[in-house]
């Protein structure tokens, strides 16, 4: 099995998953597939690296929907979840299961940590240098396994049935400083922001990925302060102790 090129399929609304994916594939030939936008159906022959965030212990359904159009045909896949230092719960098992059902052999898996997308003080600055080093080492180990022609699969932690998907309690607000540039509408992964009314958000579609907050050039989008304060207090109680990456290979 050649490791000359990987396909890196990444759902990274605020950049954490992209940093992890880039570290894993450091020095490799990679073709990137952006799962934050619709994906063309494809029969995949190269090793697939799937990197997705964890929202409430699950993988965002939109990321799984877009991964499902990349058919595996018995080829290898690497399943990676990235979480904000609380817990990844059933997300890695969910990703592993979807990839397997889609025709892949999941030969390696990992859970990495990135700065929390909502409460940025949790795991601030991660993935940091040590995380990136561990991700790069993981990538090299997987490449060596592929070069040996070893397609043995791995088991990962998690529970079935999966935990319930969390209900999004609120969508981001827009301040009066918004000038309607439309960047948030163009880049929203789920189309929750109308192009003709970018100061609004369809709460029924919003998955609280925080991309609109992260990319707004005027910092005009934010969560309601009471909600953010409550989440900060809860996460400080359960996610303040730094977690370490977990590798399965």
pTM of the complete model: 0.95
Angle at CA of residue 231, ends 225 and 237, nearest 5°: 140
Q: With H, G, I as helix, E, B as strand and everything else as coil, classify residue 171.
A: coil
Which domains occur in the chain, in start order? 5-161 (3.40.50.360), 173-232 (3.30.70.20)
**Cα distance between residue 204 and residue 159, in whole Å:** 27
Instruction: Classify residue 196 by burial, with Cβ atoms within 10 Å: 0-12, 13-18, 19+.
Output: exposed
| Nearby residues of 27 by Cβ (< 8 Å), 6 or more positions away | none
**Cα distance between residue 23 and residue 25, in whole Å:** 5
Q: List the one residue out of 201, 209, 126 whose CA is nearest residue 166.
A: 209
Cβ(31)–Cβ(146) under 8 Å?
no
- pLDDT single digits (tens) 5-43: 899 999 999 999 999 999 999 999 999 999 999 999 999
Distant-in-sequence contacts of 135-138, Cβ < 8 A, 24+ apart: 135/20, 135/23, 135/24, 135/26, 135/110, 135/245, 136/23, 136/24, 136/26, 138/24, 138/108, 138/110, 138/245, 138/247, 138/249
What is residue 166's predicted lDDT score, i.e. its pLDDT? 83
What is residue 34's predicted lDDT score, i.e. its pLDDT? 98
What is residue 169's predicted lDDT score, i.e. its pLDDT? 73
What is residue 1's predicted lDDT score, i.e. its pLDDT? 36
- pLDDT single digits (tens) 191-224: 999 999 999 999 999 999 999 999 999 999 999 9
Taking the chain (249 residues) in runs of 10, the rounded mean pLDDT of each run is 74 98 95 97 94 97 97 96 97 98 97 96 96 98 96 97 87 94 97 95 94 96 92 89 96
């Amino acid at each position: 099995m050649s490791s000359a090129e990987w396909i890196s399929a990444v759902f990274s609304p605020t950049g954490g998953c992209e940093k992890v994916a880039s570290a894993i594939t450091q020095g490799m030939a990679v073709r990137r597939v952006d799962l934050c936008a619709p994906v063309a159906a494809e029969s995949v022959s190269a090793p697939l690296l799937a990197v997705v965030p964890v929202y409430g212990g699950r993988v965002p359904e939109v990321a799984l929907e877009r991964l499902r159009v990349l058919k595996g045909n018995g080829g290898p896949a690497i399943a990676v979840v990235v979480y904000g230092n609380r817990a990844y719960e059933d997300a890695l098992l969910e990703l592993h299961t979807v990839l397997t059902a889609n025709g892949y052999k999941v030969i390696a898996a990992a859970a990495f940590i990135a700065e929390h997308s909502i409460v940025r003080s949790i795991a601030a600055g991660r993935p940091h240098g040590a995380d990136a080093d561990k991700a790069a080492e993981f990538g090299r180990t997987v490449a060596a396994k592929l070069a040996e022609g070893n397609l043995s699969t791995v088991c990962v932690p998690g529970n079935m049935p999966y935990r319930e998907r969390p209900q999004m309690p609120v969508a981001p607000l827009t301040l009066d400083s918004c000038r309607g540039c439309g960047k948030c509408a163009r880049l929203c992964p789920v189309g929750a922001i109308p192009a003709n009314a970018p100061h609004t958000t369809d709460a029924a579609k919003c998955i609280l990925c925080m991309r609109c907050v992260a990319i707004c050039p005027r910092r005009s989008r934010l969560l309601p302060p009471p909600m953010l304060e409550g989440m900060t207090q809860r996460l400080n109680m359960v996610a303040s102790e730094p977690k370490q990456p977990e590798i399965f290979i």
